[in-house]
Amino acid sequence: MRARPRSRRLLSGVVVAAMTAGLFTLAAAPAQAKGAGTPLYPGEIFYAPPTPVSYSADTPGCTGEATPMEGYQSDVDGLSVYTVEEGMSGVRDVYGGCAIVYAPFEVPLEAHIVGSRTAGSTVRATTNDFQPSTAALTYTWTFYDYDTDDQTVISTSSTVTYESRFSSGSLILVITALQGKQYSEARTNQIEVPGTFSDFAAAYTGDAKVGATVTAVDPADLPQGTTFDHVWTVGDKPVGDQSTYAVQPADAGQSLTLTTTAKAPGYDDRSVTSAPVTVSKGSKQHGAPTISDTTPKVGQALTASGPSVPEGAGVAYFWGTAPAGTTTC
């Protein structure tokens, strides 16, 4: 057995009952009797009956090279204390349960429920700016009914519709994040009132005329992490959902508007539409056409091209000879 660490955590009676059933229990959270599937992290302490086995592999889990773990005797009969070491991929107890060892996140995941306790309204899951930000998320919504003591999974999406029955129990959200060997998990049952965006305008640069390109200008001074959706409308028909729009000949004489929608974690979405502007016809294109050969011979076929015109416009060509004393026609 290794030398006993200088400090350790005491266990509650609930945890002791769970451990005698062969379950791993993290000393970092002694009030929660967690099962053997609970993730472990390097440096954490857990309690287990007879010697567990650790595994070392390239991916988290109980595969690869197996090594009996050494621990020290705890104050609870039949249980020993073990420390998760760097390089472990998983720990298996004598009952076959596997606790996967992950690396922690640089910034741990946080879970939030945003919405209102009104039947029919939508409540949604949001998170903090966890790192790594590219981790894949999973959502699990559970309803615990106080009257029946039943616990039911009701959704695995990022939103749920609030039901009147939820007022007689607890709506629980669990979010997990996984990125390679890194894992983080968070839960909450607190519903937070969503924030409200301050006033902003839907604005764009460019002229509302045929042939021009207009570009949306995102509002400033909104909460960090705010994203924007854009919808361009001509008349009463949506014509684009990108940040830019090329005004078409068919748009002439109709009204052009931009609707900008702001979105951010913990806030209700807010949409604002710009004042309508009538699309004008584009200006005529100036310039001379080009002839395929400026020194043609008798009987030679010539080809004219250009000038550049707006999409959808046509060009008519008229052939003739230059007046005496000129070099162009």
Q: Among 85, 37, 89, 38, which residue's Cα sits nearest to residue 63?
A: 89
pLDDT-derived band at 305 (thresholds 50, 70, 90) equals: confident
Q: Give pTM, 2 decimals.
A: 0.57
Report which listed range, 7-16, 136-145, 318-327, is most confident: 136-145
Q: Which amino acid is at 159?
A: T
Span of 33-37, 125-129, 179-183, 273-277 with lowest mean pLDDT: 33-37
Q: Domain locations in the chain?
A: 13-100, 111-192, 203-278
Please report the pLDDT score of residue 285 as a whole number. 55
9-33 pLDDT, tens per residue? 232 233 333 333 344 443 333 223 2
- Do domains 111-192 and 203-278 share one topology? The answer is yes
Span of 39-53, 144-158, 208-222 with lowest mean pLDDT: 39-53
Question: Mean of the pLDDT values across residues 214-231?
Answer: 92
In angstroms, the Cα distances linking 290 to 74, 296, 303, 305 are 94, 13, 8, 5
- DSSP β-ladder status, 244-246 and 255-263: unpaired
- Taking the mean position of all CA atoms in its chain, how far away is CA 274? 28
Question: Residue 311: is its pLDDT beyond 70?
Answer: no
CATH of the structural domain 111-192, one choice from 3.30.40, 1.25.40, 2.50.20, 2.60.40: 2.60.40
CATH class of the structural domain 203-278: mainly beta
Count CA within 13 A, CB hemisphere, residue 305.
4
Q: DSSP letter string over 109-152?
A: --EEEES-S-TT-EEEEEE---BSTT-EEEEEEEEEETTTTEEE
Tokens in use for 282? 């584009």
Tokens in use for 108? 């741990």
Q: Among 296, 265, 283, which residue's Cα sits nearest to residue 195?
A: 265
